Structure 1
Amino acid sequence: MATTIRRAVLTLPAASPGPENPLPRLGTRGDVHRLDRAAMAALPPAMARRTRYAPPRSLLPVRRRDDYTRTRVPTDLDAIVIENDRLRATVLPGLGGRVHSLVHKPTGRPLLYSNPVLQPAGFALNGAWFSGGIEWNIGATGHGTLSVAPLHAARVPAPDGGEMLRLWEWERLRDLPFQVDLWLPDGSDFLYAGVRVRNPHHRAAPVYWWSNTAVPETPRTRVLAPADAAWHFGYDRASLRRVPVPHWDGADRTYPADGSRHADYFYDLPDGERRWIAALDEHGQGLVQTSTDALTGRKLFLWGADENGRRWQEWLTEPGTGGYAEIQAGLAPTQLEHVPLEAGGEFAWLEAYGPLTADPAAVHGADWAAARAEAAARLEAALPRAAVDAAYAAWRPYADHQPKETLATGSGWGALEVERGRLELPGTPFPVPAEDDEQRPWRALLRTGALGEEGPEPGPSLVSPAWRELLEHAEPGPHASYHLGVAQWHAGDRAQAVRSWERALRQGMGWPARRALAAADVERGHPERAAERYARAVAEAREAGASRVARTALALEAIPALLAAGRTEDAAAVLTAVHPTARARGRFRLLEARILEARGDAAGARAIRDAGVVVEDLGEGETFP
């Protein structure tokens, strides 16, 4: 059977990821993976350097995705199916290019954990994320900001004369273009993924990449990799320490179902060893992932068998659907590291995903060296290391081939950056979308020196040094002053940011500039001034007819600030004005409980909490009073 690529529709019970939050996040980005000084000092020097290198200052210019619920309805999702006579892969271009399923046709075996529902949860850097399949994470430590965003997709000639599916986008957190080329050679049991990240700028750029594969977890699923040690990251103490594999702390940690708590194990692969990781069940069957040597890291993430771990898995899907673990592959040995990419350079590699069958007695035997040797030998027989290197060499010239037929469209940010930088990016054209309302003002700034934005509610901000310089020399106006303030805040120039927002107020911008000043007051420790500014911003937003999404997001910021300043009745008034649908959400219910406590109504506050409050967008590592 010749390889085919076709459009399809996948229908799932889904909760919408919701609109983007129009309020730029000005607070410091929380990071559950941040190490303290003592933990950093214990790392090898090269690892410590990469861990310290260029952590992101903030989420900007990316907007948050936090306006979603847990109400799921049958939803048709655009899908692209890649198929040969051995495998069938279903890809979701509108949801980060996620490979939703990979089925081995001769046996009918699903090789991935395919979530039967689409339920956003607060695990991505910018909020909404969903579990299952194979996801492509680029940007910074964590699940990427494109988890629920559309990617460009097209047919492209494949090295074997057939076709491959190209996925590509402009990653905005680091300002870098990337592509993933997926294809199934005729008769192959392996899905190939050629990946390339380019740095078209005149300065080095930090790069983060981890391919994350969800695999079914049975009580006897074992994860194997060619390592005798791993770097263990414990979320409770945010520590990173080298531990033996497989046995550590009284248990065999290569069995995810036996893990008592959620944890990361970054395998310490010896130099020269083939890069691979596999998850095999009690029958010695499962999925293996391998790659060329550029993708150095391998990791097991397990949710843990305690109540918290089970709760998180049920939160992301439906009870009774079975658990899963994640096997991952990355550019660096651990996910706490970012790798510098020189100006004008690129990182490129090839990954392969396919079925693996090994002797279960050896795989699950007490001899770890024999277990991994068995898996390695079966992998070599199924897909020799030399064949992966040869496939990579064959793919490299095709990475620049222009797409033949567009299958899906991503954002317009790449087109804007290509125009600004006058970039040539063979293989990844970034077309100007038919509807480019978000980019149009910035294109006007680029071409005329005047930010072409009007109205009471600013669009997304851009914060890179190049755009900040253009804003500094832009024709004066409230929107230019506002966006310049956001760029200055992102760069750490807080005093100048405040001056720019104050200028935007004088120039006629109302609640967005006042809200920015209020958020700055919170960060700088001025609670009374923050509360006053938030109160005025809420009133101005109501009078200006701001969007419901904006008013809801503003209320979520204003109420805690008003309570912190002792303005309980003002906080209650803001809550009362929130639309009833939004007010029923968990965060507002807890804020209502805090207002009741501030009024002295402890019984009323306790009743809300005792009734069980579900905070739909609770983030990883987040606490909410």
Structure 2
Amino acid sequence: MVIVTTIRREVLTLPAAPLGPDNPLPALRPLDEAHRIEDRDRDGLPHDMARQIGYAPLHSLLPARIRDGYGRTRRPAAVDALVLENDRLRATVLPGLGGRIASLVHKPTGRELLYRNPVLQPANFALNGAWFSGGIEWNTGATGHTTLSCAPVHAARVPAPDGGAMLRLWEWERLRDLPFQVDLWLPEGSDFLHVGVRVRNPHERPVPTYWWSNIAVPEERRVLAPADEAWHFGYERRLTRVPVPEHDGADRTYPLNSPYAADYFYEVPDGRRRWIAALDEEGTGLVQTSTDALRGRKLFVWGSGPGGRRWQQWLTEPGTGGYCEIQAGLARTQLEHVRLEPESEVAWLESYGPLDAPAPAGEWDAAVRRTEERLEAVLPRAAVEAAHAAWRPYADTEPEEILSAGSGWGALEVLRSGWKLPGTPFSESALGAAQEPWRELLRTGSFPERHRQDPPGESLVAPHWRDLLETAPAGPLAEYHLGVAQWHAGDRAQAVRSWERALERAALRWPSLRCLAVADQEAGHHERAADRYTEAFDDLCRAATGQDGEDGEDGEDGDVSAAAAVAVAALGREAIEALLHSGRAAGARSVWDRLPAATRARGRFRLLEAELLLAEGHRDRARAVFEDGFEVADLREGDERIGRVWERAVGTPLPERHDFRMRPSSH
């Protein structure tokens, strides 16, 4: 048999807003995650669901950094892609953006099976910020969109079970400290893309695990799944069991029938085939199915209300069609994490492809039955099980050709531990500047000091790195990073002591002062926090402008200046907010006046300016800020801050351009 499935490189040109630099300040504050419920609401849940909702929810983004350096000015940009193709399907993958499948085209009909976003517009939906809509994304780590949404992953060509080629994606997920892989296999002549997924736990301890494959499809569809009930979760943060398809007088399996953004986690009965489909009125569309390990199925809708419509416009070009998401996960809901035992793994196989079924309208049970019968005819359940069995021996196969490089964090962990992870090589050649000081700590037992003006670099917080820092010589940077690791572990008193020791010897004081300011805020000492933020910002400004008397070395002045500008914006924003919280508008104004003009012009800072003007008693000038117009590029999902400031500054009903509300206004 001649195998003609191909993998090739391609460059896409898209209108794109640059990602910009990461925020250099460690993410010390508790995670602001919308997908949580109150403890009292767990009482009526099934026992296993309640247990998994309470099992190790993520409380911190560390060691990941916040990605908030993007804007909303889009220009044509080249985006590297890998195309996996046979005579029936063409899958376009973006290895530099989390391994996202941006497009899945059924070649005989020319149909795009996914919602393909015509632009690349980051928005604040990932756990750590930057995310973009469209395609199929691989969400691992913890509840929410992965921190790898806009990050590179490793990619390689590997042998497929049928003798052809598979595209392997893999990376080290840092929130849970786990490696994972995604194998894309497109057998010759197949209308279905098979996706083998494996998450491994190399540790000698159990680790909470999370996975949801997220598929964007056009919203003018009916979404079908084999369930008569669902768990509804909205931005009111309540999880309730509701009937399917009708709830509150409307058929919610049509995405536009929901007024507000909502999740519907389908209660698929045990033993029933796992699948979900999004079909147009004629019965054509996409179906996803899997082996039983991938238990959950979900529909996410933006809803028909003004807030949902505004978010749809925000994430793409105005005038393009909207989308909804159909998803598949390890648990029944995304609020849950499952236990992965020590030195074990979990693996499954998913299949994606076109479905031409009878029209989905009408009585629910009959529509589901007709759709499932059609799925069984084109892709029997037994065929998915057989594909999974065929793929499993190939999961350990080493790559034949490296096609794209991810981060060096996995290589650092393998270097430290000596773990053997067949099929997913984390080579020392992947180590870069971010990993170098930690490699030096491994090699010598000492954490290297850096140039006077350099920000501290990324912190590592896992227990093994914390142990190494505790035994390292107590230099300022070692103490600073140790404090971050102790804070992450919940030992806040020790973290404060470490940062105070770092201050005693540090030439650059602002990083530890900022950490101490956050510690003060979390402890309710807001006046002291404001004082420390003021001192930290003063120190940073002196360093950034060279007033400390030290210059850059080795021709690095430009890099230092760029890094300093990012730090000034990040620290300045936090300082202004802390000073306003303490009622110190004059101090906030002093910080504002020292921010660069380009920083003050950004939408997030225009909103902050309106708050500052209100604190100073200048309501008319605050209203003028809104009249001038601005866009807060990094507005967080569920964030209602714009509406609150508008109410104080203007007082009229919130205009459409600022209406991002994802729940009824009574909440």
TM over 0.5: yes
Measure the CA separation in 2 of the matches of 1:263 and 1:563.
34
Q: Give the one of 545, 562, 578 matched to 1:561.
A: 578
What one-letter code is carried by the residue in structure 2 that aligns with 1:206? P
Measure the CA separation in 2 of the matches of 1:264 and 1:426.
37
Number of the residue aligned with 2:663: none
Measure the CA separation in 2 of the matches of 1:180 and 1:135.
11
Query: Which secondary structure state, in structure 2, belongs to the residue aligned with residue 335 of structure 1?
Result: coil
Task: Quote how far apart the aligned CAs of 1:122 are.
Answer: 0.4
Query: Which secondary structure state, in structure 1, belongs to the residue aligned with residue 307 of structure 2?
Result: helix
Q: What do the CA deviations read for 1:192-228 (whole angstroms, capped 9, x no partner)?
A: 110000000010000010000000122xx10000111
Number of the residue aligned with 2:648: none
- 1:414 equivalenced with 2:431 (yes/no): no
Measure the CA separation in 2 of the matches of 1:28 and 1:115.
32
Number of the residue aligned with 2:496: 498
What one-letter code is carried by the residue in structure 2 that aligns with 1:618? L
Q: What do the CA deviations read for 1:223-282 (whole angstroms, capped 9, x no partner)?
A: 0001111111121x2111111111111011111122211110000000000000000001
Number of the residue aligned with 1:225: 225
Pairing 1:524-543 to 2, within 5 Å after superposition: 524-543=523-542
Query: 194-203 or 511-520, which moves further after superposition?
Result: 511-520
Number of the residue aligned with 1:464: 462
- 1:370 equivalenced with 2:366 (yes/no): yes
Measure the CA separation in 2 of the matches of 1:431 and 1:225.
42
What one-letter code is carried by the residue in structure 1 that aligns with 2:377? A
Aligned partners of 1:440 and 1:452 also within 8 Å: no
Measure the CA separation in 2 of the matches of 1:407 and 1:174.
26
Query: 181-190 or 536-545, which moves further after superposition?
Result: 536-545
The normalised TM-score by structure 2 is 0.92
Aligned partners of 1:292 and 1:349 also within 8 Å: yes
Query: Which secondary structure state, in structure 2, belongs to the residue aligned with residue 79 of structure 1?
Result: strand
What one-letter code is carried by the residue in structure 1 that aligns with 2:134? G
Number of the residue aligned with 2:172: 170
Query: 93-102 or 512-521, which moves further after superposition?
Result: 512-521
What one-letter code is carried by the residue in structure 2 that aligns with 1:85? D
Query: 567-576 or 474-483, which moves further after superposition?
Result: 567-576
> Structure 2 vs 1, CA of residues 190 and 453 (structure 1 numbering), >3 Å: closer, same or farther?
farther
Pairing 1:14-413 to 2, within 5 Å after superposition: 14-218=16-220, 221-235=221-235, 237-360=236-359, 363-365=360-362, 367-413=363-409
Task: Quote how far apart the aligned CAs of 1:610 are.
Answer: 3.6
Pairing 1:443-592 to 2, within 5 Å after superposition: 443-456=439-452, 457-508=455-506, 509-545=508-544, 547-592=564-609
Task: Quote how far apart the aligned CAs of 1:305 are.
Answer: 0.5
Task: Quote how far apart the aligned CAs of 1:621 are.
Answer: 1.8
Number of the residue aligned with 2:637: 620
Aligned partners of 2:301 and 2:324 also within 8 Å: yes
CA RMSD of aligned residues (A): 1.1
What one-letter code is carried by the residue in structure 2 that aligns with 1:621? G
Task: Quote how far apart the aligned CAs of 1:37 are.
Answer: 2.3
- 1:606 equivalenced with 2:623 (yes/no): yes
Q: What do the CA deviations read for 1:128-166 (whole angstroms, capped 9, x no partner)?
A: 100000000001111110000000000000000000000
Task: Quote how far apart the aligned CAs of 1:57 are.
Answer: 2.3
Task: Quote how far apart the aligned CAs of 1:609 are.
Answer: 2.6
Task: Quote how far apart the aligned CAs of 1:573 are.
Answer: 2.0
Measure the CA separation in 2 of the matches of 1:453 and 1:3.
51
Query: Which secondary structure state, in structure 1, belongs to the residue aligned with residue 610 of structure 2?
Result: helix
Measure the CA separation in 2 of the matches of 1:92 and 1:77.
8
Q: What do the CA deviations read for 1:542-599 (whole angstroms, capped 9, x no partner)?
A: 2222611111100010011122233322211211222222211122112212222222
Task: Quote how far apart the aligned CAs of 1:481 are.
Answer: 0.1
Measure the CA separation in 2 of the matches of 1:481 and 1:592.
35
Query: 105-114 or 512-521, which moves further after superposition?
Result: 512-521
Measure the CA separation in 2 of the matches of 1:159 and 1:533.
60
Task: Quote how far apart the aligned CAs of 1:432 are.
Answer: 2.5
Measure the CA separation in 2 of the matches of 1:110 and 1:602.
50
Aligned partners of 1:153 and 1:407 also within 8 Å: yes
Count of equivalent residues: 619
Aligned partners of 1:472 and 1:484 also within 8 Å: yes
Q: What do the CA deviations read for 1:390-433 (whole angstroms, capped 9, x no partner)?
A: 00001001000000111100000000011111100000001234
Aligned partners of 1:512 and 1:537 also within 8 Å: yes
Measure the CA separation in 2 of the matches of 1:110 and 1:208.
29
Q: What do the CA deviations read for 1:511-533 (whole angstroms, capped 9, x no partner)?
A: 11111111111111111211111
Query: 427-436 or 555-564, which moves further after superposition?
Result: 427-436
Task: Quote how far apart the aligned CAs of 1:435 are.
Answer: 6.1
Measure the CA separation in 2 of the matches of 1:359 and 1:35.
39
Number of the residue aligned with 2:649: none
Aligned partners of 1:411 and 1:433 also within 8 Å: no
Task: Quote how far apart the aligned CAs of 1:480 are.
Answer: 0.4
Unaligned runs of 5+ in 1: none
What one-letter code is carried by the residue in structure 2 that aligns with 1:497? A
What one-letter code is carried by the residue in structure 2 that aligns with 1:212? N
Q: What do the CA deviations read for 1:438-458 (whole angstroms, capped 9, x no partner)?
A: 101001111211012412421
Query: 129-138 or 414-423, which moves further after superposition?
Result: 414-423
Aligned partners of 2:407 and 2:431 also within 8 Å: no
Measure the CA separation in 2 of the matches of 1:306 and 1:253.
14
Number of the residue aligned with 2:421: 425
Unaligned runs of 5+ in 2: 545-562, 646-667
Structure 1 residue ranges (4+ consecutive) displaced by more than 6 angstroms after TM superposition: none
Measure the CA separation in 2 of the matches of 1:6 and 1:199.
32
Measure the CA separation in 2 of the matches of 1:374 and 1:337.
31
